[in-house]
Structure 1
């Protein structure tokens, strides 16, 4: 549930936004021709792209280039809430801001295409101070004039270029508005063992649910749920045989969010509960 939401625009496009949310809360976050810097003030955030999943803790940030994402907001253990501040980058806004003095990452030839769509930014006093300034303008919108917003946009870009993860950030910045084509199967295989729904997989592949199911059936020969469940059960079976992980950890590592659901499906498939299956193998 969204408790509060505020935004500030620049040149007619979203620049800053902040939200306070009571999880559980998940939402698609497609960014076709924009990028985003997201700072977690309270709680945590799971950012899922076509090939990656990144866990961002409180006081950490993530820089996301253009692409398809699904975001999961996680509650702070003390307050039960999630709070974040986002800065959005649009190519036309940056060109207006910098005019004839564009930063190198916007104009130089991409020698090193980005292998990742996201970069984690560690907690830092400089970023905290910047976020405090942005929150001040949400509380005092009459002071958020165009000149000040332009300065704050330039400031966050400078901060990003001098963070601890400077190399990774620089690569993302250089590819900020360069879409990266990801193969359909690569997205599926990258998220087989993550807690993700079929609808969210469709969103990551930028397809409607019905189109996604048709494409999946054409490529794999069976329905998405059947295929994913089979792969997760195969991994669980392997982990039961070769590891000493608890049954709960086996379920979680294989992509199951419910121990009851895992045990039920495992028994239906292999004829024995996970614990009995493991014991029978040990006895042999």
Structure 2
């Protein structure tokens, strides 16, 4: 649940964002050509990709690679609040701000490591002071204008250039000027276990809802709702068998809205509750 959300836009794109959320929660990032810098003011974010798995505690940050669609926050105490500052890196904004003098960190390095999905930035004093200053503008929105936003945007880029992760960060940010083109199936498979609606899936694919449904039927010979629901339920049976996670967490991991919704759909497909399914596996 989002408790508070403050945003500043530049060229009609969100550039700075402050979120106060209650875990568990997923932060959607449906922009395949965008990178995001996330700083934890409070709480902890657990971020998992195909190649990397990191935990980012309070006062630390992470830069996420273009093409990653969501980050996942999990906490055993569901009432715990998390405060996050997000800086969005859009190619449109970068090209506008740096029309003639592109910083070195955005230039393509001689070698690209495809396994680098993110860069975890440990407690960095200069970045921490930057965030404290940025908070001043979130608390005083009347003082904010486009010039201030551009100045603060350039500042975080300069600070990222000076961290010990600079070479890894360059691997990520340089891709903003040669964004990946995702196929229809890649968009679906990358987001199967998200909590996206069909409209959000259609937006990711740059299609109208009706066109999305037709394209889905052509690729999967099934309706989107039926296929995605079955994939989520199949994934849940794997997690019930292989992990000791709480059933509530498994429901969340597989992209169900809540435990009640998950239990209802699970029982309809497998004729037993998730807890009984797990118990039967242990008995065997």
* CA–CA separation in structure 1 for the residues paired with 2:19 and 2:39: 13
* CA–CA separation in structure 2 for the residues paired with 1:143 and 1:248: 41
* Correspondence 1:92 to 2:91: no
Change (3 A) 1:103 1:273: closer
Query: Which range moves more in the overlay, 209-218 or 274-283?
Result: 274-283
Q: How much is the aligned-residue C-alpha RMSD, in angstroms?
A: 4.6
What's 1:178 paired with? 178
Q: Secondary structure at the match of 1:128?
A: helix
What's 1:17 paired with? 16
CA contact (8 A) 1:38 1:63 kept: yes
Structure showing greater radius of gyration is 1
**Structure 2 counterparts to residues 68-147 of structure 1, below 5 A:** 69=69, 82=83, 84=85, 86=87, 88=89, 90-96=93-99, 99=100, 102-108=102-108, 111-112=111-112, 118-136=118-136, 139=140
Alpha-carbon shift at residue 212 of structure 1 (Å): 2.1
TM-score when scaled to structure 1?
Answer: 0.68
Change (3 A) 1:163 1:208: farther
Structure 2 residue runs of 5 or longer lacking an equivalent are none
Alpha-carbon shift at residue 181 of structure 1 (Å): 1.6
CA contact (8 A) 1:73 1:82 kept: no
* CA–CA separation in structure 1 for the residues paired with 2:45 and 2:126: 21
Alpha-carbon shift at residue 95 of structure 1 (Å): 2.6
Structure 1 residue runs of 5 or longer lacking an equivalent are none
Change (3 A) 1:38 1:177: farther
* CA–CA separation in structure 2 for the residues paired with 1:260 and 1:142: 45
CA contact (8 A) 1:235 1:254 kept: yes
TM-score when scaled to structure 2?
Answer: 0.68
CA contact (8 A) 1:202 1:208 kept: yes
What's 1:227 paired with? 227
CA contact (8 A) 1:70 1:200 kept: no
* Correspondence 1:263 to 2:278: no
Query: Which range moves more in the overlay, 57-66 or 159-168?
Result: 57-66
Change (3 A) 1:183 1:247: same
Change (3 A) 1:156 1:109: same
What's 1:193 paired with? 193
* CA–CA separation in structure 2 for the residues paired with 1:204 and 1:145: 28
* CA–CA separation in structure 1 for the residues paired with 2:217 and 2:264: 25
Change (3 A) 1:40 1:227: same
* CA–CA separation in structure 2 for the residues paired with 1:53 and 1:223: 32
